[in-house]
Structure 1
Amino acid sequence: MQHPTPREAIWKKNKATLWYYPSSQKKYKTPLFLIYSLVNQPFILDLLPNESVIQSFTENGFDVYLLDFGIPREEDSDITVDHYIVDYIQRGVIRAIHHSNAEKISIVGYCLGGTLAAVYTAISNEPIENLILMVTPIDFQYFPSYDQWVEALRAGSINVDDFIDAYGIIPAEFVKFGVRLLTSPVYFSHYLSLLNRSDDPNYVLRWKLFNKWTKEHIPFAGGAMKQLINDFVKENKLIKGELMIREKKVNLSDIKANLLVVSSNLDHLVPKEQSMPIIDLVSSQDKTYKLLQGGHTHLFVKNNKLPDYLEEWLPQRSDPL
């Protein structure tokens, strides 16, 4: 897969890589640290020249760090959420801060990566200036598409632990099937848009790359999956203040960073009801909620221009040079 924006690897752990994307003309002292989801590869953030989320950041004066968790294999079945938070995210952020010589850093989390970002920020000692959560599930009480499954899970009628233990690593096809359950028929509607714009070569190229991304779900570490299902979905411990990471309680009220929460009104994967509650739980004095028009993957930019909701919010909170 080609990556339009120049980058270099500055840290590796197991399958994970921390990528550094230098700004073409640095304007802000506070770099961005991007955390993507665990179910897809993050190349959606750097898909095409002039239509790249990462390139829009670097072209507008931000140094960017992206934590790519990589693709877990059988030997990674015991990786848990605790590992991702402490051994990957926290160590990656410390490396990025040292590499950038920055006094503060901004954390940007996408989907489940945003959930991990919120958990990390709540227990972190690092100087986090801004926390941006994009279509991020925080409150797992609300599951309109999976309501019967979740009710059975909470009632004890379904126990996924034995199933996960039998596999160790959840195969990518299983992950893909779960996402399809939530997004169908929305998933198939993009084929109609291709037919309608098949005479536009740029659109066709973007469609092919995006379609490749939607089909390339990756395996999921069994330890992390069990923890997410039991602690997050079944018990909803994050929102209740009962989640423990390495024997440390996760209180969202310990988040003091400037907070921006972004949802989409047509999101079938992470409806706004899952994201909004964090606004009332953090201690941040500066907090903003934005509801966009679009679906879950509303990530495209045009001509490397920051989207309006970031252009209005991020620069003034990033210590301009």
Structure 2
Amino acid sequence: MLEDSGEREISLVGYCMGGQLSTMYAALHTDGPLKNLACFTTPVDSDGMVLFKRWLDPRYFDVDRVVDTLGNVPPELIYASFDMLKPAQRVAKNIQLWDNLWNDDFVRSYRLFERWAADQIPFPGECFRQFTKQFMWENRMVRNELEVGGRRVDLGAITVPFLHVVAEHDHIVPYDSARALVPLIGSEDKREVMLKGGHVSLVAGGNAIYRLWPQLESWLAERSV
């Protein structure tokens, strides 16, 4: 990106697990070109992800067998786990679609949104194995003990301006899982913002246009000129 743009610095935005990956990069590459870091609904404390924690209980979930058998984890498995958090939600959405089936604008918006929300890709097997063990089982990220490539990810090493936006009604990454992120970051310029919405509606859909993206725009405008 730096080569294509001709710039010397970059601002990075990470959503959900992308926020985890972004903080890992920032912590392990403190001498890199990163100028600003913004994360949305990023989990750091697996104890706050109660249902996921139960489903991945090592007494019942053999992650080694799953990965050794399947290789990369199928996207259908990941998507099904989200559906199980709110089993009636898909039924409610289908009813809403039926009620608006002759509204062309609604149907078009519905199809675009659902296509984006359901666009899961296979989860790399070894990453899934490590993520399950180090993050979900051992909760290493909130303890600053997570390792990537044999190197410890110290979130306190991050010193660039940092923004974390969380959703008030997030059922995938509850606030109990996300609240510890900002205190762990070493930056002096750091901020947490809570906005109305859920995990998906925070970043996509009509409300996101008026809530999230103006927040990010104004925050970056003060730090990227």
Normalising by structure 2, what TM-score? 0.88
Distance 1:314 1:250 in 2: 25
Q: Distance in 1 between matches of 2:102 and 2:132?
A: 44
Pair 116,240 (structure 1): closer, same or farther in 2 beyond 3 Å = same
Which amino acid is the alignment partner of residue 210 of structure 1? Answer: F
Equivalent position of 1:144 in the other structure: 50
Cα pair 2:49 2:172 within 8 Å, conserved: no
Give the distance between the partners of 2:117 and 2:205, measured in 1 at CA: 18
The residue identity in structure 1 corresponding to 2:27 is A
Q: How many residue pairs get matched?
A: 221
Distance, in Å, in 2 between the alignment partners of 1:297 and 1:244 is 28
Q: Corresponding residue for 1:317?
A: 223
Determine which structure has the larger strand proportion and give its number. Answer: 1
Q: Secondary structure at the match of 2:55?
A: helix
Alpha-carbon distance in structure 2 between the residues aligned to 1:160 and 1:192 = 36
Normalised to the residue count of structure 1, the TM-score between the two structures is 0.63
- Structure 1 pair 283–166 and aligned structure 2 pair: CA distance change class (3 A): same
Identical columns (%): 30
| 1:254 CA displacement | 0.5
**Partner Cα separation in structure 2 for residue 120 and residue 244 of structure 1:** 12
Tell me the amino acid that sits aligned with residue 280 of structure 1.
Answer: P
- Select which of 218, 221, 226 maps to 2:121: 218
Q: What's the counterpart of residue 123 of structure 1?
A: 28
Name the Cα RMSD after superposition: 2.3
1:269 Cα offset (Å): 0.8
Residue number among 196, 204, 211 corresponding to 1:300 in the alignment: 204
Q: How does 1:163-202 map to 2 (within 5 A)?
A: 163-202=66-105
Q: In the alignment, is residue 97 of structure 1 matched against residue 13 of structure 2? A: no
Cα deviation for residue 126 of structure 1 reads 1.0
- Rounded Cα–Cα distance in structure 2 between residues aligned with 1:198 and 1:317: 45
Compared with structure 1, are the counterparts of its residues 186 and 314 closer, same or farther at alpha carbon in structure 2 (3 Å cutoff)? farther
Look up the match of 1:272.
Answer: 175
CA distance in 1, matches of 2:205, 2:69: 42
Q: Is the 8 A contact 2:117 2:200 kept in 1?
A: no
Structural mapping, 1:67-86, within 5 Å: none
